[in-house]
Amino acid sequence: MSYVGPDFDPPQPRRSALRRPLTVAVAAVVVGAVAGWGVWQAVGDSGGGSGANQAAGQTPRSATNAPATSAGSPSGEPTASEDGKKASPSASSSSPATDGPLKGKVVVVDPGHNPGNFQHTTEINRKVNIGTGTKECDTTGTTTNDGYMEAEFTLDVSRRLRALLEQQGATVKFTQDEDRPWGPCIDERARIGNEAEADAVVSIHADGSGTGSRGFHVILPGSVNEGTADTRPIVGPSRALGERIAGKFVRATGTAPSNYVGDGTGLVTRQDLGGLNLSTVPKVFIECGNMRDSNDAALLTSGAWRQKAAQGISEGIVSFLRG
């Protein structure tokens, strides 16, 4: 997520050395492509890569495996479509189930970054106040070595999570659903949760650490009382939320806590994240894995694993909200 520094190079467009020789071949391929369109319509995209990667100058990357179906769904329908976009008809707020254990609860899901941030570096580099100082409005996020964007990953997991929470009766609001060209800034992300008077807020991310760094970790707000930031009222409930999510995430995904931060607990406390510093409601971040490690990347690019990740986060939120 935000560990990407100024030395991070955004993925560059891939150029084919065979562009000119392929000109003649294109005409022959068109006929086959038309026939192939019908097959593609029947099987659908496997998720992961989308037009947002093209906007970033990347060759779209498909994630492997379709999401699992929901055991709690009487119809056996998937909890989300294969690209994660079928979870809810609304980009900003869901239509909750009429009944369920989370009826009356509001959950804000914050998909980290935005696929369009790559094209709006001036806007996202603008400094905003985080209470204890200033920080960049947002960042591009990281990618796997094969070019699968963190911003695509966070949206997919968030949409799957929304579907699961709606089944429990919750009202789910997003900070962004690829419905804006960039952002929002970190201070606005916090404000969305505050103004919604959310019962819980979870910001979805994946890390960009070095090879060999593996596992997930949940970031908790530290005690901050400076400037416009005062996290003291939310430190306790945020820790309870983070602990529930960490425990359920291990069980649902089978992955271990981070081997490079958190001393094996899967929990990290930070005071430098505006999204936490400016929150007035219980909020945590979760780094679901390290995109720069090939073993973790194999999980993060799997639709089936992303469904498990969403399930673990959902179960943690439900456990927290039900007390």
pLDDT tens digits along 23-81: 334 344 333 433 333 333 333 333 333 333 333 334 334 444 433 333 333 333 333 33
pLDDT tens digits along 235-254: 999 999 999 999 999 999 99
Q: What angle do CA 279, 285, 291 make, to 5 degrees?
A: 150
Backbone angles phi, psi at 307, to 5 degrees: -65, -40
Eight-state DSSP code of residue 269: E
The model's pTM is 0.74
Contacts of 235 (CB under 8 A, 6+ apart): 220, 221, 222, 223
Q: Give the pLDDT of residue 96.
A: 56
Q: Give the pLDDT of residue 1.
A: 55
For the segment 94-120, the average pLDDT, to the nearest whole number, is: 90
For the segment 299-319, the average pLDDT, to the nearest whole number, is: 98
- Checking phi first, is residue 243 left (phi over 0); if not, alpha (psi -120 to 50) or beta? alpha
Report percent pLDDT > 90 for the chain: 69
Task: Give 99's pLDDT tier (boundaries 50, 70, 90).
Answer: confident
For the segment 200-222, the average pLDDT, to the nearest whole number, is: 98
Does residue 224 register a pLDDT over 70?
yes
Verify whether residue 243 is a known catalytic residue: no
Catalytic residue among 82, 150, 243, 287: 287
What are the structural domains of the chain?
45-322 (3.40.630.40)
Do 128 and 185 touch, CB atoms closer than 8 A?
yes
pLDDT tens digits along 171-210: 999 999 999 999 999 999 999 999 999 999 999 999 999 9
Angle between helices 232-253 and 303-322 (to 10 degrees): 140
